[in-house]
Copies of this chain bind each other. A is one copy, B any other.
Amino acid sequence: MLNPADDAFVQRLAALLSPDVLGGVEPRYLADPRGRVGGQAGAVARPRTVDEVSVIIAESARARVGVIPFGGGTGLVLGQVQDGGPLPLVLSLERMRAVRSVHAAENVLVVEAGATLAEVQAAAQSVDRMFPLSLASQGSARIGGNLATNAGGVNVLRYGNARDLCLGLEAVLPDGTIWHGLKRLRKDNTGYDLRNLLIGAEGTLGVITATSLKLSPVPAGMGTAFMVVRDPAAALDLLALAQARLGGLVSAFELISGMGLAFLAEVMPEQRQPFAVAPAWMVLIDVGLPEGLDPQAALMGLFEAGMEAGLVLDGTIAQSLAQRAEFWSLRENIPEANRRIGSISSHDISLPLGEVADFIAKTGPELARLGDWRINCFGHLGDGNLHYNVFPVPGQTRAQHENSREAIKGLVHDLAHARGGSVSAEHGIGRLKVDDLEKYGDPAKLAAMRAIKAALDPAGIMNPGAVLRLLA
């Protein structure tokens, strides 16, 4: 059983640290970005060095006090928000945001965990490279949190998720020892893959304090298009066509529904829409091509092939950088429009690509048995990752349907799981989906996870209650 981060503990810990490392609990450390619950903490630690992190964790382990690693606070599954149990210590990485070294010729950047994703992207740009991880919250989300949650986003199709972009880690393990694993190697088969174990563990097996990241050359030419597709099945056929023609060079392939466009028209009428009549389904395609290939011509070729195959009904290709940005702003405003409409239940599911179209076709009618809803299904189609969100019909509010939330969620998750899908594609488990993990997770994997947690964190101090249920 854990002890609270009470005054006595905080005073004891403060004596081991520089004067201003420990501070009061400002509200921003306790807020859930979706406003569902409020957190609590006995104090907030804001260390400047990995050695200070080590002292904090070691002392917390000794005292059996829970530690909640805190990045940008943008996580959507309550991984950074503990709303019950003994008061924990919040450990914010915000003061550890230095770029430690840049190795442009190696395509490697070494940066501390508290740098925001946007700062990491800027550091890459400053040496003519790109760091391809990209997501809506990149201005506030910190790279340590991106790694702890194995963040996804829009460029996973080509460049992979956070896991695939990480070469090495520096981390403090649950007993306070420091793992110096900031390798800059593309190949290293020396023992168990501790890096990938910490990535995606959501701070429950240790705290990432720095990372060496893979950069990529900036493609010679980038192009973006909206293409109206017959239906989601046609969108998947178009994806296959794009991959065959441009193998490996399609960086994003995003599904957008007519409902998403209608939501934008309703609550963000200033957002310019690409088609005079909103289509039922369209995709946003991004390509990055080497010298010798013209992105607009390549997209035009794909458009024509898609038309000929009966997959594509209409389309528009960005003619300038400004227009590319405008196209992307539409995609990026969809989550904000959803927020303003107010969903009853939001889902972050993934499916085998071959199951996506049929899932979309069948799930709406199944949900209709529970009531009348508006469904905004959008997301990273190239990765089989759908944000399948359910809203009240016009004139009704989410509050009226609180009682339906569990049934809706259960139905969507059951149907995704039955098709070999995942109930958390990119957001993680946090505290929100612990029940889902127990319900849908493989028992042998769950047992292995519990054994690993107990082995590495016997006192159970690291992000208690996230991912795995706290044992009383």
Contacts and interface: CB of A to CB of B under 8 A. Distances in A.
Given A444-B177, A448-B173, A437 B191 contact: yes
Contacts of A197: 192-193, 196-197, 452
B247 A190 contact: no
A103 B456 contact: no
Interface stretch (A61-69, A213-221, A316-324, A394-402): A213-221
A426 interface: yes
Nearest to A185: B350
Of the candidates A158, A189, A433, A455, the one having the most CB atoms from chain B within 10 angstroms of its own CB is A189
Interface in A121-156: 149-150, 152, 156
A451 interface: yes
A425 B187 contact: yes
The interface centre, meaning the residue of A179, A199, A441 with most chain B CB atoms within 10 A of its CB, is: A179
Interface residues of A, number: 100
Contacts of A354: 103, 105-106, 184
A469 interface: no
A200 interface: yes
A291 interface: yes
Interface stretch (A6-14, A363-371, A379-387): A379-387
Most buried by B among A179, A187, A217: A187
B424 A189 contact: yes
A436 B191 CA distance: 11
Contacts of A249: 248, 290
Given A105-B240, A188-B422, A192-B200, A452 B449 contact: no
Nearest to A172: B444
A426 B187 contact: yes
A186 B380 CA distance: 10
Contact of A194 (B107, B163, B445): B445
The quantity of this chain's copies bound in the complex is 2
Contacts of A449: 191-192, 194
Nearest to A218: B247
Contact of A192 (B184, B201, B384): B201
A130 to B, nearest CB: 10
A14 to B, nearest CB: 26
Interface in A154-174: 156-158, 160-161, 163-164, 173
A293 interface: yes
B352 A185 contact: yes
Contact of A189 (B200, B236, B301, B456): B200
A186 B429 contact: no
Nearest to A239: B105
Nearest to A179: B444
Contact of A426 (B173, B189, B200, B383): B189
A183 interface: yes
Interface string A429-445: 10001001100111111
A186 B350 contact: yes
Nearest to A163: B193
A186 B356 CA distance: 13
Given A103-B354, A350-B185, A452-B452, A190 B423 contact: yes
Interface in A340-371: 350-354
A382 B107 CA distance: 12
A383 B186 contact: yes
A301 B293 CA distance: 14
A292 interface: yes
A180 B424 contact: no
10 contacts: A105-B240, A150-B193, A187-B384, A190-B429, A192-B448, A193-B193, A193-B197, A194-B449, A197-B197, A292-B298
Given A186-B384, A452-B455, 17 more contacts: A149-B189, A157-B186, A164-B164, A173-B444, A177-B443, A183-B420, A185-B350, A187-B426, A188-B422, A189-B422, A189-B424, A189-B425, A190-B436, A191-B200, A193-B197, A217-B247, A220-B247
- In order of increasing CB-CB distance, the 9 nearest A-B pairs are A455-B455, A196-B196, A184-B352, A188-B422, A217-B247, A179-B444, A187-B425, A451-B455, A186-B383
